[in-house]
Amino acid sequence: MACGCKEKFYADLPSPATGFLIAEGVINIGDKVRTEIRLARTTALDNPDVQFEENARVYIEDQQNDRIELSHADSGKFISPELSLPTGRQYRLRIIANNKEYVSGFTEAKISPAIDSLFWVPKDDGIEIRLMTHDTQNASKYYSWSYIETWQYSTPYFSTIKFDPATITDPILPPIVPRLSSDPPIYTCWMTVPSSSIVIGSTVNLSEDIIYAKPVRFVSASNSNRLVSHYSIIVKQSILPKEGYEYLQRMQKNTELTGSVFDSQPSELRGNITCVSDSSEIVVGFISASSITEKRIFIKREELPQLNINTLYQDCYIDELPYIRDTMIYWFESGSYIPVQPKEVLGRVVAVSYSYNKCVDCRKLGGSNQKPSFWP
Amino acid sequence: MKRIINTFLTGCILLCCNLCGQGQTKGISGDYKQIRLPQLLKEIQKQTDYRLFYDPQKLDTLAQNISFDNQSIEKVLTKAFAETELVFSIDANKNIFITRGQAVKTTLPQGFLPAPGRVTAAAGQRPIDDLDAEEQDANRARAVVDNRLYIIGDKNQPASGNITVTGYVRDAKSGEPVIGASVYIDKPRVGASTDQYGYYSFQLPRGRYILNVQSIGMRDARRQIQLYSEGKMNIDMEGQVLSLKRVVISAAKVNNIRSTQMGVAKLDIKAIKQIPAVLGEVDLLRAVLTLPGVKTTGESSTGLNVRGGSVDQNLILFNDATIYNPSHFFGMFSAFNPEVVKDIELYKSSMPARYGGRLSSVLDIKSREGNKKKFTGSAGLGLVTSRLNIEGPLIKDRTTFMAGVRATYSNWMMKFLPDEYENSRAGFYDANLNVTHEFNKKNTLFITGYMSGDKFNLNNDTTYGYSNRNLSLKLKSIYSNKLTGVITTGYDEYNYDISSDNNPYNAYKLNFSIQQYYFKANFNYYINNKHALDFGFNTLYYKLKPGALRAVGEQSIVIPETVSQEQALESALYLSDKFNVNDNLSIEGGIRYVLYNYLGPQDIRQYAPGVPRTVDNITDTISYGKNKNIQNYGGAEFRVSARYSFSDAFSIKAGFNSQRQFIHMLSNTAAMAPTDIWKLSDPNIKPQYGEQYSLGLYKNFKSNTIETSVEVYYKNIRNFMDYKSGAVLIMNPHVETDVLNTKGKAYGVELLVKKSTGKLNGWISYTYSRILLKLDDPIAGENINQGNWYPSSYDKPHDVTAIANYRFSHRVSVSLNSTYSTGRPITVPVGLFYYAGSLRTLYADRNSYRIPDYFRMDFSMNVDGNHRVKQKVHLSWTFGVYNLTGRKNPYSVYYISENGVVTGYKLSIFGAVIPFINLNLKF
C-alpha cells in the first residue's frame, strides 16, 4: 500500500470519573442448568485492568415474584444453583451493589433451537467456521453466539532430561537427570481462548427462520498456531429479544466496526438495566433469558488444505553445551533455557543440547498441559 | 477569431478600393430622405470623378434628410458630415480621404508619401510594425468596431423619457453567451450585467453614449451608441486568447462593490482548473471548498457544509436539474465533467427569490453551450479519468450541441487510499449532452441531459451502485425589451442499490430512488432604471421510493419488503424587486410564498402526545388514499438585501433571508455516504426552517484590482435533523422514531483579500465560524449532551486558505494552494468496560473532542503548448503534487476492540505526497 494512512494514535483525552456498573450474562432457561452473571465496573480510559464487582447481591426474579439469589464466585462471577426455570415466563435480574439497587427489564424466556451443523470452509489464509441453524417455530429471529476455541500444539524439541536445582547446594548430585513420567508434561499443550468479539445474526428479513452458513469465526493460519495440530471450537447459541439484538449490534458498531469512512459515528449505548434510584445513571449490559444450545467440532491438521501455518516456533534453534556442572548451573539455573537431550559418547554424557524455555516448555506460550476432558 | 476579423477587414479594404468614381468636376445635386452615409457617398461618387476612400466600418449609420443643388464636393461633404465627427481631405489626384477626427494630410514629407490610392493609410490608424501581424490586425479591427457609431432605434420617433436598450453579449469566436459581463455607461452611471444567456437590459434617455462591456477572460469592449428609441445592441466580445490563466472569482471587476448581493462567489472553469487537485482530477466541488465559509467533514468527501449548513442543505443545480448525489468514487471526486462546465456560482447568503427548498446554499453549475461556428473538441488523459468532449453547430448559428463523457479505467488508485479500501473495486462515468436551438432572435430552446453512474464494492462482497439522471428543457423568450422569460421543465432522478449474493439464502438487492418532475417559469420585467422585477412560480412533484428489498436467486429466502412510496408537491410563487433608490443606495427585496403538500397514498402513524416517539407509543395508523392531501406546510420566505456605496470602491451591504426545506437526507455517518437516504417532510417530520442575517463591508484598492471584504452572518435553524443513538435509517418504515429535532445556530466572520489581475494573483481567506446544535425536542426520549449546545460534526472554527498563482509567461504558470483548519469534532470514549470477552469503549457526550488540526499545501504547474490560433491541436499539461508536505492529516481518530484490547487509531485519507499529471488536447 502506498500510504501508511492508518496508524496507532492515542489522543490525550480526559479521563472523567467512572465506575459505572457492568452486568453481563444470560438467564439460563433449561433443565438443571446454572446461570452465570459477571459484574464489573467501567474504568478510566487509561486503565485497561478489568475491575470486577465482588461486593454485590444478585437475584433472578420472575413476574410471580419468585426470587433466587446467586452466589458469589471469583472474578465478579455470580452463579445460580442448578435450576430448571420454566419457559413462558418473563425474568429479570436484580442487583444490589454499592448501596444502590439495579433491575433489568423483564424479558421473555426464549428457547434456542439446536445448532444444525458447524463446519469450516477454506479461505485464503486460514479457515472460516460457519454455522447452520433453524427454528421451525419461526420464533427465534435474533441469535447471539459465543465460542471457545481449544487447540493442541507441541514444542519442536522433546525434552527427555531436566536440570536438577538440588545440584546447586549439593555438588554430589548430577546437574542433569532424566525427565520422569511423574514430572509435568511440557511437550504438548492445549490452549483455550474464549471469543472476544460480538457475533450476532438475525433472520427477521427472511421468510423462514434459517441461519445459513453464518460465519462465526475466521481462524487465521498465519496469525496464531491454532491450526498447527488439532483445533476445536464450541459454539454456544442463545436467543435475544429484539432490543437485546439491537443493543449488541450497536455495541459492535461502536467498538468493533468504527473508524472507516462510511461507518456511523459512535453513540451512547443504553441496555435494559437501570438504577432504581437514578434512572439517568449509566449501566452497561443487556440481560436476556434464553436456553443455550451448543455444538463442538474438531479439525485435524490433515484435513486442512495447504496453508502457511505459523507454529510460533520459527525462531527456535537447538545448541549444545559441554556437560560440565558449572556450565549447567550457569545456563539452566534461571530457567530461561531448558536441556533437551543428553549426548553420549561410549555411554558417558559429554554434552547436553538445549534451547530457549519457550521452545521446549509448551506452557510458556500460555497453554495448559492438562488435556481437556472433551479432547479425543 | 482573428481569422474572421482578417477576412472581414480585407473585404472592407477591397470595397474601399473599388469605390472609384469617374467623370468631370461638376456640381452635385439631389434630394435624399432618410439616407445613410454609405448610400449618400455612393450617390456622390456617381455624380463626380473623385475617388472616395473610406472605411465603411467607420461611417456613422445615422440616416438624414439632405438635399443639394449643384453644389461643390467640398460643400456637399461638409453638409453631409455636419452631425458626425467625419472629416475629409482631397489631394491633387482627386482622391478624397474620409476619416474620423483628424483629416489625412495629402502632402507628406518626402519618403512618407504613400502610393496614391493605397487606402491602408486611412484604414489603419497605427503604423504596422512587424512584431505580430495577427495581433495588429485584431487590434485594428477592434479599434474599428469600438469607434463606430451604432444607431439604436428610429430617429424620428419622439423621445419620451427613458429608452430601454437590450441585447446579447456573446463570445465572438464560439457564439456562446458571455455570462455576468457588466455592461455600463459612465455618464450617467447606468449599468447592468448579463444573465446566464448573455442578455442584458437597461434604460437611458435619448442621446449619445459610450457603452463599456467588461467580462472575465474577455477583452474589454466599447461601443458608441446613438440612442433614439427602444432597440437592440448585440455585442460580440473577443476572448482574451493570450492571457489564458487568470484567477477570478467575482462576476466582474466592480461587481463586488456595486451588486446588492452578498455571500456570492463565482468561479469560472479556468480558475478551477488552476487549483491543484487530488490526483490531478479537476474537481468543481473541491474548488468550491477553497472559498470562505465552505467546509467539508474530511478529505474523503466532497459534501459541502456552507456556513454551518449540513450537506443536504445545498441545492445543487446543474443546468436547472437538481443533483442529489454530486460525487463519484466513495464521494471523493465530484460528478461534474470540467470540460463541460462553464462556471459555478455559489450563493451563501443572498439567495435570489427564484431559488428555494434548501436552507444553506445554492450551487448553480452551468455548462457551456456548444460552439456555434465550428466543430471542436477536447480530450483529456488523467490519472483518474479519461475525457472526451465534442461540440459544434448542427445548423450553423442556430443549433449547436455539446457532448461530453468521462470514465475511469482502473482500480489502481485504491493503492493511494487507506487499507480500508484495499480490496475494493470501483468504477464510474458521467455523460452530458446539451443542445441549444435558436428559433429566432427572441426564442431559444436549451435541452440538457446529464447522467452519472457509480458502482463499487467496499472491501467485502456487498456491491453498491448509484446514479443520477437528469433531463431539462428550457425556453428562453424575449417578449419585449422590458420583459423576458424562461420556462423550464424537466425530470430528475437519483437512485441507488445495494446487493449481495454471497450467501445464497440471504442474497438480496435493495433499491432506493428519488424522482422529481418540475416546472418553473421565471420572468424579468425591467420597469426602469430604478426598478427591475424578477417574478415567477415553480412547482415540483416528488416521488420517493424509500426502499425496496427483494430476494435475488432461487434459493434466497429474503422476504421482499417495500417501504411505502412517498409523494409530495412543492410549489412557490415569488416576486422580487431590485430598487435603485439612488446612485448610492440599492435595495433588493423578495418574497417567496411556498406551499408544500404531502400526498397520499400513505399510512400515517399517530403517536400518543407528550411521550417519546417509539413504536410502542403508536396509537393509531391512518390510511390516506391516492393524491389525498395529508399535510400542508408552507409560508412566506423573505429575501432582502441592501447596498450602500460610499464610493466606487467602498460599499456596505446587509441582508436577511429565510428558507424552508422539505426533503432531508438522513445520514448518521461522518461523510456523506452513497447509502444515505432522503426523506420527505410528513406529519411526523417537520420541514427545516432557517433564517440568516448578514452584514458585509467591501473595499477595493488599486483601481479595483485588489478586492477586500468582511462578511458577518448569524443563522437560526429550526428542526435541524440529528439522530438517536444507534438510529436505523435504511428500510425503516417509521423513521420518525429514530430522528431528533434539534435547533441550530451558526455564526461566523469571513475575510477575503483577492487580487485577480497581474502576474501574481490569487486570494487569501480567513473564516471563523461555528455551528452548534441543541436538542430541542421535549419528547425526544433521550438526551444529547444534557440538553446543552453541542458542535456538529463539521464545526471547524478556524480556517485559512490561500491560493496563489504566478504566471511566468503566457504558457507557464504555477499555483500554490495552502489550507489550514481546526480539526473536526468527534465523539470519543470516556471510559472502558469489559463485555463479550473484550475490553470496549464507553461513549457519552457527542462531539466533545477535536481531531488534530488540518494543514495541506498543494502545488501545480500548467504548461500550455503554443498559442497559435490556427494550430489544429492544442496541447496542455498540468502536473503537480497534492499534499506537498506529506502530512498525515487525520480524517478520524477512533478506538477499536481487537483481540480483546482497545487500540486507538488515526486514519488519514491522503496521508502521503501524491504527485499527478494530466494531459489535455483541444481540437
Do both B50 and B8 map to the same domain? yes
- Of B107, B116, B227, nearest to B167 by C-alpha is B227
- Residue ranges of E strands in B685-821: 688-701, 706-723, 739-755, 760-775, 790-791, 798-807, 812-821
CA closest to A264 among chain B residues: B669
Among A237, A269, A285, give the residue marking a domain's end. Answer: A285
Mutate to test the interface with A, among B299, B457, B894, B902 (most CBs of A within 10 A): B894
The 3-state secondary structure of B411-431 reads CHHHHHCCHHHCCCEEEEEEE
**Radius of gyration of chain B from its Cα atoms, rounded to whole angstroms:** 32
pLDDT of residue B412: 65
Do both B307 and B414 map to the same domain? yes
3-state secondary structure of B97: strand
From the list B558, B833, B896, the residue facing A205 with the nearest CB is B558
Do both B335 and B392 map to the same domain? yes
| Cα torsion angle, B248, B253, B257, B262, sign | negative
Contact between chains at A3 and B910 (C-beta distance less than 8 A)? yes
The strand pair at A337-345 and A56-62 is best described as: unpaired
How many angstroms separate the Cα of B638 from the Cα of each of B262, B588, B596, B644?
15, 11, 17, 20
Amino acid (1-letter code) at residue B740: L
- Of B818, B820, B817, B819, nearest to B861 by C-alpha is B817
Residue A296 counted as domain residue = no
Do both B477 and B533 map to the same domain? yes
Instruction: Return the residue matching grid coordinates 464466585.
Output: A73
Do both A338 and A264 map to the same domain? no
pLDDT of residue B857: 94
Distance from CA of A98 to the nearest CA of B (A): 18
Do both B470 and B496 map to the same domain? yes
What are the residues whose beta carbons fall under 8 Å from the beta carbon of B45, sequence distance 6 or more? B19, B20, B21, B51, B52
The three grid cell numbers given for residue B853, joined into one nine-digit string = 488540526
From the list B668, B842, B892, the residue facing A259 with the nearest CB is B892
Contact between chains at A42 and B416 (C-beta distance less than 8 A)? no
- Distance (Å, rounded) from C-alpha B683 to C-alpha B622? 11
Count other C-beta atoms under 10 Å from residue A335's C-beta. Answer: 11
Among B240, B255, B278, give the residue marking a domain's end. Answer: B240
Owning domain of residue B65? 2-130
Residue A150 counted as domain residue = no
pLDDT of residue B126: 39
Owning domain of residue A48? 15-109+247-285
Do both B184 and B292 map to the same domain? no
CA closest to B851 among chain A residues: A11
What are the backbone angles phi and psi of residue B42, rounded to the nearest 5°?
Answer: -60, -40
Q: How far is CA A207 from the centre of its chain?
A: 34
The answer to whether the beta carbons of residues A96 and A192 sit under 8 Å apart is: no
Contact between chains at A6 and B549 (C-beta distance less than 8 A)? no
- Distance (Å, rounded) from C-alpha A96 to C-alpha B391? 79
Mean pLDDT by 10 residues, chain B (923 residues): 42 39 58 78 78 73 75 80 78 79 62 41 38 52 67 74 83 78 80 81 83 79 83 79 41 64 84 82 88 85 89 93 90 88 90 93 90 88 87 89 86 66 80 93 93 82 90 93 93 94 89 96 90 94 94 91 94 94 91 95 90 87 93 95 90 94 86 82 94 94 87 94 84 89 94 88 93 83 84 92 90 92 90 93 88 92 76 85 90 88 88 86 84
Residue B257 counted as domain residue = no
From the list B669, B831, B904, the residue facing A43 with the nearest CB is B831
Contact between chains at A261 and B300 (C-beta distance less than 8 A)? yes
Count other C-beta atoms under 10 Å from residue B491's C-beta. Answer: 15
pLDDT by residue (tens digit) across A210-265? 999 999 999 999 989 999 999 999 999 999 999 999 999 999 999 998 877 777 78
From the list B422, B782, B840, the residue facing A255 with the nearest CB is B840
Do both B667 and B545 map to the same domain? yes
B15 φ/ψ sector (left φ>0, alpha ψ -120 to 50, else beta): alpha
Planar angle of CA B236, B237, B240, nearest 5 degrees: 155
What are the backbone angles phi and psi of residue B369, rounded to the nearest 5°?
Answer: -95, 155
pLDDT by residue (tens digit) across A156-208? 999 999 999 888 888 888 899 999 989 999 999 999 999 999 999 999 989 99
Do both A89 and A38 map to the same domain? yes
CA closest to B895 among chain A residues: A255
pLDDT of residue A347: 85
Count other C-beta atoms under 10 Å from residue B158's C-beta. Answer: 8
- Distance (Å, rounded) from C-alpha B331 to C-alpha B329? 5
Report how many domains make up chain A: 2
CA closest to A9 among chain B residues: B905
Measured between beta carbons, which residues in chain B are less than 8 angstroms from residue A268?
A: 725, 782, 843-844, 846
Distance from CA of A181 to the nearest CA of B (A): 36
Contact between chains at B900 and A196 (C-beta distance less than 8 A)? yes
Report how many domains make up chain B: 3
3-state secondary structure of A42: coil
Distance from CA of B438 to the nearest CA of A (A): 47
Measured between beta carbons, which residues in chain A are less than 8 angstroms from residue B670?
A: 261, 265
What are the residues whose beta carbons fall under 8 Å from the beta carbon of B661, sequence distance 6 or more? B312, B313, B357, B358, B359, B687, B688, B689, B690
Distance from CA of A24 to the nearest CA of B (A): 7
Instruction: Return the residue matching grid coordinates 448509484.
Output: B466
The three grid cell numbers given for residue B405, joined into one nine-digit string = 463523457
Measured between beta carbons, which residues in chain B are less than 8 angstroms from residue A198?
A: 836
Measured between beta carbons, which residues in chain A are less than 8 angstroms from residue B838?
A: 196-197, 255
Residue A27 counted as domain residue = yes
B811: part of which helix (H) or strand (E)?
none
Contact between chains at A8 and B904 (C-beta distance less than 8 A)? yes
Hey, which residues does B481 pair with through a beta bridge? none
Higher pLDDT, A8 or B25: A8
The 3-state secondary structure of B128-190 reads CCCCCHHHHHHHHHHHHHHHCEEEECCCCCCCCCEEEEEEEEEECCCCCECCCCEEEECCCCE
Where residue B69 sits, what CATH number does that domain have? 3.55.50.30
Measured between beta carbons, which residues in chain A are less than 8 angstroms from residue B899?
A: 196
Amino acid (1-letter code) at residue B915: P
Do both A324 and A268 map to the same domain? no
Contact between chains at A197 and B892 (C-beta distance less than 8 A)? no
Do both B205 and B281 map to the same domain? no
From the list B330, B415, B725, the residue facing A1 with the nearest CB is B415
From the list B418, B505, B833, the residue facing A212 with the nearest CB is B505
From the list A249, A259, A261, the residue facing B896 with the nearest CB is A259
- Distance (Å, rounded) from C-alpha A103 to C-alpha A95? 6
Do both B392 and B513 map to the same domain? yes
Distance from CA of B415 to the nearest CA of A (A): 5
Residue B138 counted as domain residue = no
CA closest to A21 among chain B residues: B833
- Of A103, A74, A130, A143, nearest to A290 by C-alpha is A143
Residue B258 counted as domain residue = no
- DSSP class of B39: H
Contact between chains at B557 and A284 (C-beta distance less than 8 A)? no
Do both B201 and B107 map to the same domain? no
How many angstroms separate the Cα of B905 from the Cα of each of A9, A47, A258, B299, B893?
5, 18, 10, 17, 6
Q: How many CB pairs under 8 A join A and B?
A: 221
- Of B805, B694, B708, B800, nearest to B295 by C-alpha is B800
From the list B726, B842, B894, the residue facing A259 with the nearest CB is B894
Measured between beta carbons, which residues in chain B are less than 8 angstroms from residue A197?
A: 836-838, 897
Residue A308 counted as domain residue = no
What are the residues whose beta carbons fall under 8 Å from the beta carbon of B703, sequence distance 6 or more? none
Where residue B159 sits, what CATH number does that domain have? 2.60.40.1120
CA closest to B908 among chain A residues: A5
What are the backbone angles phi and psi of residue A85, rounded to the nearest 5°?
Answer: -70, 130
- Of B283, B319, B178, B284, nearest to B240 by C-alpha is B178
3-state secondary structure of B865: coil
What are the backbone angles phi and psi of residue B138, rounded to the nearest 5°?
Answer: -65, -45
Count other C-beta atoms under 10 Å from residue B109's C-beta. Answer: 7
Q: How many residues are given for chain B?
A: 923
- Distance (Å, rounded) from C-alpha B208 to C-alpha B224? 7
Do both A279 and A327 map to the same domain? no
Measured between beta carbons, which residues in chain B are less than 8 angstroms from residue A265?
A: 668-670, 793, 826-827, 846
Q: Round to the nearest angstrom and report the end-to-end CA distance of chain A.
A: 44
Where residue A73 sits, what CATH number does that domain have? 2.60.40
Residue A195 counted as domain residue = no
Q: Round to the nearest angstrom and report the end-to-end CA distance of chain B.
A: 15
Among B240, B255, B280, give the residue marking a domain's end. Answer: B240
Measured between beta carbons, which residues in chain B are less than 8 angstroms from residue A270?
A: 725, 782
Measured between beta carbons, which residues in chain A are less than 8 angstroms from residue B559?
A: 205-207
pLDDT of residue B194: 84
pLDDT of residue B724: 84
Do both B571 and B707 map to the same domain? yes
From the list B561, B827, B836, the residue facing A267 with the nearest CB is B827
- Distance (Å, rounded) from C-alpha B676 to C-alpha B324? 11
Residue B703 counted as domain residue = yes
Residue B907 counted as domain residue = yes
The three grid cell numbers given for residue B155, joined into one nine-digit string = 430617429
Contact between chains at B844 and A282 (C-beta distance less than 8 A)? yes
- Distance (Å, rounded) from C-alpha B569 to C-alpha B294? 30
Distance from CA of B551 to the nearest CA of A (A): 9
What are the residues whose beta carbons fall under 8 Å from the beta carbon of B398, sequence distance 6 or more? B437, B438
Contact between chains at A11 and B849 (C-beta distance less than 8 A)? yes
From the list B557, B826, B834, the residue facing A207 with the nearest CB is B557
pLDDT by residue (tens digit) across A257-291? 887 777 778 888 889 999 999 988 899 999 999 99
What are the residues whose beta carbons fall under 8 Å from the beta carbon of A17, sequence distance 6 or more? none
Residue B136 counted as domain residue = no
- Distance (Å, rounded) from C-alpha B412 to C-alpha B417? 10
Mutate to test the interface with A, among B794, B833, B909, B913 (most CBs of A within 10 A): B833
Count other C-beta atoms under 10 Å from residue B277's C-beta. Answer: 26
Which value does ipTM take for this structure? 0.92
| Cα torsion angle, A45, A51, A55, A57, sign | positive
Do both B125 and B164 map to the same domain? no
Is the pTM here over 0.90, yes or no?
no
- Residue ranges of E strands in A31-114: 36-41, 51-52, 56-62, 67-72, 77-79, 90-97, 100-104, 107-108
Planar angle of CA B470, B472, B473, nearest 5 degrees: 165
Distance from CA of B921 to the nearest CA of A (A): 30
Among B100, B130, B160, give the residue marking a domain's end. Answer: B130
Distance from CA of A257 to the nearest CA of B (A): 7
Residue A79 counted as domain residue = yes
From the list A15, A20, A265, the residue facing B668 with the nearest CB is A265
The secondary structure of A292-341 as a DSSP string is -EEEEEEEEGGGS-S-----S-TT---EEEE--HHHHHHHHTTSSEEEEE
pLDDT of residue B178: 82
Residue A64 counted as domain residue = yes
The answer to whether the beta carbons of residues B168 and B213 sit under 8 Å apart is: no
Do both A27 and A103 map to the same domain? yes
Residue B248 counted as domain residue = no
| Cα torsion angle, B622, B623, B628, B632, sign | positive
The strand pair at B314-318 and B361-367 is best described as: parallel
Residue B319 counted as domain residue = yes
Contact between chains at B828 and A258 (C-beta distance less than 8 A)? no
